[in-house]
Amino acid sequence: MPGLRRRTYEVLDMAVPGDRSGVLVNGLLMALIVLNVAAFIAGTVRSVEARFGAELWAFEVLSVAVFSAEYLLRLWSCVEDPRYSRPVLGRLRWAGSFMALVDLASVLPFYISFLGLEGRLDARVVRVVRLLRIFRIAKLGRYSTALQTLARVARAKRAELVATISLIVLLLVIASSAIYFAEKDVPQTQFTSIPASMWWAIVTLATVGYGDVVPMTVAGRIIGGFVAILGIGLFALPTGILGSGFMEDIQRRRAEEAERAKAAPPAVCPHCGKELPKT
């Protein structure tokens, strides 16, 4: 059993680089996640639901069975990871990790509906629970190298991103306050309060400008122009931060690969035993 558990851990968590079984299993799981999200989206179209409702339901049952088995196997084999080596506390710690909670959230709505609990819950709670099915797309983060890179970059640049978000919130409050005091005395104004003015400030800072709420006074339009110009430069900040983070991560990975290549034993000819030249 320990050998089987170790092998299960290696396959599911890609613990052995280049393991064909791990690549195959994780590739199939990734394909199932993509198809599942596509089926969930298609099921919201009434004509598709009316025609293929039975097939969508059968696919949902199959998907939940696979995802549930994956969750249980990961819970069983997680003790092979040194971080969760303790049989009980380790598994509890794994169950509280982000990706484990995502795995659980992806199957939980099915069991709530299957157990007939929807009739006992508030309609708004039921809608939220059903919406949790879309969390299955978050499972791709376990298999996608690009998403893992994005997560590493976000963690590495979290201080800069938090500072940028704080600046955006500060400018949002200033812009909504300024436009409120400039427009509050206009007859039938839509800037009736600072919270009501925040919608205009958001769409103006984002340079979307829906036009459903517009300033009428000269002072208000001047403020709107400044806010729109600030928004162009402001939303470029996170892009630059993430862009530099991606470059740093790529350079770091290349340096690690070069170090591993230097540390690797030289290749030798299987016939004469001489060292082969490096390419």
Residue 60 is predicted with a pLDDT of 86
**CATH code for the domain of 279:** 1.10.287.70
Q: Do 275 and 148 share a domain, yes or no?
A: yes
CA distances from 141 to 135, 154, 243 (A): 11, 14, 20
Q: What is the pTM assigned to this prediction?
A: 0.61
Buried b (16+ CB within 10 A) or exposed e, 130-143: eebbebbbbbbebe
Q: Do 154 and 247 share a domain, yes or no?
A: yes
Q: Do 255 and 175 share a domain, yes or no?
A: yes
CA gap 235, 23 in Å, rounded: 38
3-state secondary structure the chain: CHHHHHHHHHHHCCCCCCCHHHHHHHHHHHHHHHHHHHHHHHCCCHHHHHHHHHHHHHHHHHHHHHHHHHHHHHHHHHHHCHHHCCCCHHHHHHHCCHHHHHHHHHHHHHHHHHCCCHHHCCHHHHHHHHHHHHHHHHHHHHCCHHHHHHHHHHHHCHHHHHHHHHHHHHHHHHHHHHHHHHHCCCCCCCCCCHHHHHHHHHHHHCCCCCCCCCCCCHHHHHHHHHHHHHHHHHCHHHHHHHHHHHHHHHHHHHHHHHHHHHHCCCCECCCCCCECCCC
CA gap 129, 205 in Å, rounded: 33
Tell which of 109, 128, 143 closes a domain.
Answer: 143
Q: Do 105 and 192 share a domain, yes or no?
A: no
Number of domains in the chain: 2
Question: Which range marks the domain in which residue 199 is found?
Answer: 144-279
Q: Do 92 and 64 share a domain, yes or no?
A: yes
CA gap 170, 230 in Å, rounded: 12
Q: Do 102 and 155 share a domain, yes or no?
A: no
Tell which of 143, 173, 200 closes a domain.
Answer: 143
Q: Do 133 and 99 share a domain, yes or no?
A: yes
Residue 178 is predicted with a pLDDT of 92
**CATH code for the domain of 28:** 1.20.120.350
Q: Do 88 and 191 share a domain, yes or no?
A: no
Q: Do 136 and 180 share a domain, yes or no?
A: no
Q: Do 130 and 170 share a domain, yes or no?
A: no
Q: Do 266 and 187 share a domain, yes or no?
A: yes
Residue 203 is predicted with a pLDDT of 87
Beta carbons within 10 angstroms of residue 117's beta carbon: 13
CA gap 122, 129 in Å, rounded: 11
Q: Do 179 and 78 share a domain, yes or no?
A: no
Structure-token pair, residue 6: 């170790």
Residue 92 is predicted with a pLDDT of 92
CA gap 36, 255 in Å, rounded: 38
Residue 103 is predicted with a pLDDT of 84
Query: What is the chain's pLDDT, residue by residue, as a tens digit (279 residues)?
Result: 678 888 888 888 876 777 788 888 888 888 888 888 888 788 888 888 889 889 988 998 898 899 899 999 999 999 988 888 888 899 999 999 888 888 888 788 777 776 665 555 554 555 555 566 666 666 666 666 666 777 788 888 888 888 888 888 888 899 999 999 999 888 888 888 888 888 888 888 887 777 778 888 999 899 988 888 888 877 777 778 888 888 888 888 788 777 766 765 666 666 666 666 655
Tell which of 143, 160, 191 closes a domain.
Answer: 143
* C-beta of residue 108 within 8 angstroms of C-beta of residue 136: no
CA gap 269, 260 in Å, rounded: 21
